[in-house]
Chains A and B, each alone.
Chain A
């Protein structure tokens, strides 16, 4: 009796060809790894995926709005009214700020000085998020008006720190969140003035959204409820951006025990729909 062949005629050649393609993709990925932009095929794939993600997110948002709207119509009407009032107030403040800026520009020109460029702020929609805790914590962004995002731009939500753009292609960008295990930011605690570094959460922690404030001095007078801001000594983020609030202080009892604080971020990373991309002013 003849045994059935393991591979049919021509099948192994196809397997071999596919394996070669896989190896080529791996090699091109490794070569492009230092830039974090990805190889050319990866960039092409992202150019296809991100618009699709944008459509899927829009569909999901519409469904959520419709379902939520039906169940919470009364409360939404009240909220809408409050938001209209807040919006009118903010618009008035914005006009005032623009007038002040123009005035300042006139003064600078009158003294014959070179005006500084103002920080660029772009609004962006969040169209994707990494699916698990044990992989890099990133979000995909698309700027609303199609303006270009750049690598190293700062991502904010309501003035609070979200993360930083790690790669950008035109209006599409990928940002690393503060929650990423590899992320870090020099921080200062106010009002105690304790200095340290905010790192991603401990993967073993039950709460995956609690950041760690490490490298604190053992006798740093840090207390629960204090606010954590980006520090002027950091090179990645501009100073004074709110990160979160100290929720718990651990350690620091003995000389060998380092002090660590757990920081609750002000940003709800699980519910990010829109963010602001900020490019600090050039000197």
Chain B
């Protein structure tokens, strides 16, 4: 075991030689700016201020959904806290009279992410300048992440001019990650594969799995490493039939991996919140909780006394290492097979939706973990009863929670999907998922609709979630 520790600490040294501190690179749980306390209030203020201008900010969605097939994408990278890089005439020329949709990434120094006002100080000048372009702009999806390094700040916009007509729909999402597994080399293929898979997850969950394109977002402190990341991204794209669209890069900061992911579907997206029927089942495509073993493993490397704690709970360190490797493997594999199964159970047009034949709503289990079920209850105005919370590594998750290594061990990255499925097709849906090598399970059901949203969950959830803000969202029974 000593050799493992030395190897990892050696790798930490290597990261430091690259100007990186792998322990300051969040593996998932802390990378996003706090949505409830910072991002939403800031966006609310901005939305009110820009009312009446050509720029609007759409309500929070996991992915931007556009009617028809969108072809053009134009990327612009701006410095935060200033409008000097934004050219209104540039935006007007992209638009040429069409509506312009955008997905954005904001990487903000964490000290400005402690309040809506601090966050606004960074993003508002850019939004105000865009509003002055005269173009009609809809910000469809924003992704805000923290950096411990002030010089790493930037914001990136992928603008999509679109006439808003045509058959089917285009789904667009952006996501980025600093690192998947800091105990491995940043050039390890699984790091980029995981980051890009995670970017596609929010469009795969809509059943989108055709005509896939991506505009990578890649950054590294050395040219060699950057080349390696690009090589890995292209290999990933080739393996899954994804077109790579090269676009401007932030070219500042340390390590960053991800992409703007785009796909097309000729079926309606599963956003039939008002059609969810009581008695429908909640089906998960595989167990959740990828982040717990990764965080526990890294924590034990830093604090060897945790290894003794683990042994006290009957978990050898080697078991955590195996679980960590399995979790990284899962993260680095795109959920494209699950997307193709969801697609099969969607209607060709929204008008054709029938409650007993089609999947009504889907979601993916990522950072908030099991909390996404509460979000489902809120979206659909239903009472949901959860029978079980299937975890990839239940014992490891339990210990990681007990040791406060992770406040919510149901959290994941590139996690599984949960679908609300009518009882009549549950068996077929599960059989199809199994035929793709997945491990689906029925985890609960919709008890009632048209009521105050509520999720009744097993009391045992306390063993996996220490975060009281998350736990308080459930009725534990």
> Are A and B a genuine interacting pair, yes or no?
no
Using a CB–CB distance below 8 Å, which chain B residues touch chain A? none
